[in-house]
Amino acid sequence: MISDWNTIILSKVKSILSKIVEQSEKIQVISSGTENISTKIDTLDENVNSIKTISNSISSNVSSINTINSNVSSVKSTVSSMSSTLSTVNTNVKNLMSSGSGVVKSVQRGVASSTSSSSSVTISSVNISKSIVITSGDGIGTDQNGYSTVSYAFLQSSTKLILSHAASRSDNRIFYTNVVWQVIEFY
């Protein structure tokens, strides 16, 4: 009887030991799975941090793109304004050209001679900011050595033209040139 009990107990102990070994193997599998999960969580954490870095970079780039878009909009607005202004100027020029009056409002001409280095001429009133002065001296000086002479002019006021008659010197003689001038006023 004791032997039967021993056999039963031994059988039960073997069964329990078998279950403990089985549970131990399951614990090892779970432990291995846990390590695998931990590694995967670490990898996932690295990927999330990488995504955060990329997201921050994208956010910075989006901010730069927004700045660029704002600048492009500003340039477009300026170009549009300039285009409108140029269109108006183009229309005005076409109107002037087709009106028959052209772009020149007036031309005044003359020749000034002087026995001094400068002279003034009274002209009809012009808008100085819309006028130009063109001069031409009578070229080479009159002395025997052929010294060249130079002249220039400018508008002192809307009705007064100042002319400079450059002089050539030879043997203590002074010569003054004639100055041919034009004042051209534009619309």
pLDDT in tens, 35-48: 878 788 888 888 87
Write down which residue in 33, 68, 101 finishes a domain: 101
Write down which residue in 101, 129, 152 finishes a domain: 101
Identify the CATH number of the domain in which residue 113 sits. Answer: 2.60.40
Given a contact cutoff of 8 angstroms between Cβ atoms, the answer to whether 93 and 162 are in contact is no
pLDDT at residue 102, as a whole number? 67
Specify whether 114 is located in the same domain as 95.
no
Specify whether 37 is located in the same domain as 111.
no
Write down which residue in 41, 66, 101 finishes a domain: 101
CA distance 167 to 176: 5
pLDDT at residue 132, as a whole number? 94
CA distance 81 to 182: 37
Residue whose pair of structure tokens reads 């994208």 in the numeric block: 58
Whether the per-residue pLDDT at 131 is higher than 60: the answer is yes
Specify whether 14 is located in the same domain as 83.
yes
Residues of the domain holding 149: 104-186
Specify whether 129 is located in the same domain as 161.
yes
In DSSP terms, 183 is beta-bridged to 108, 133
Q: How many helices (H) and strands (E) does the chain have?
A: 1, 8
CA distance 45 to 49: 6
Q: How many domains does the chain have?
A: 2
Pairing outcome for strands 118-122 and 160-165? antiparallel
pLDDT in tens, 137-173: 544 444 444 555 666 789 999 999 998 876 655 555 5
